[in-house]
Amino acid sequence: MTLFSGLSAFPITPMTPSGELIAADLSRLARRIEAGGAASIGLLGSTGTYMFLGQEQRRRAVATAVGAVSSIPVIVGVGAMRTDDAESLARDAATEGAAGLLLAPVSYTPLTEGEVFEHFLAVASASDLPLCIYSNPGTTNFTFRPDFVARLAAIPTVAAIKLPLPSSGDIAADLAAFRQAAPGLSVGYSGDWGCKEALLAGADCWFSVIGGLFPERAAALTAAAMKGDREEADRHDAVFAGLWDLIRANGSLRLMYAAANLLELTDAQPPRPLLGVGEELRAKIASALPI
Please enumerate, by residue number, every residue annotated as part of a binding site for pyruvate.
Answer: 47
Q: Is the dihedral of CA 145, 150, 154, 159 positive or negative?
A: positive
Q: Is the dihedral of CA 271, 143, 159, 225 positive or negative?
A: positive
Question: Considering 162, 189, 257, 284, which one is annotated as catalytic?
Answer: 162
Q: Which contacts (CB < 8 Å, 24+ apart) does range 283-290 have?
A: 284/242, 284/246, 285/243, 285/246, 285/255, 285/258, 285/259, 286/262, 287/242, 288/242, 288/243, 288/245, 288/246, 289/243, 289/259, 289/262, 289/263, 290/214, 290/217, 290/239, 290/240, 290/243
Question: Considering 50, 134, 189, 257, which one is annotated as catalytic?
Answer: 134
Interatomic CA distance for residues 253 and 210, integer angstroms: 10
Residue 162 catalytic?
yes
Interatomic CA distance for residues 164 and 23, integer angstroms: 30
Residue 284 catalytic?
no
Give Cα separations from 124 to 77, 117, 176 (angstroms).
13, 10, 25
Interatomic CA distance for residues 61 and 103, integer angstroms: 17
Contact 34/72 with Cβ under 8 angstroms? yes
Interatomic CA distance for residues 191 and 264, integer angstroms: 25
Q: Which positions make up the binding site?
A: 47
Give Cα separations from 10 to 120, 151, 173, 206, 208 (angstroms).
22, 28, 26, 10, 6
Contact 74/108 with Cβ under 8 angstroms? no
* Active site members: 134, 162
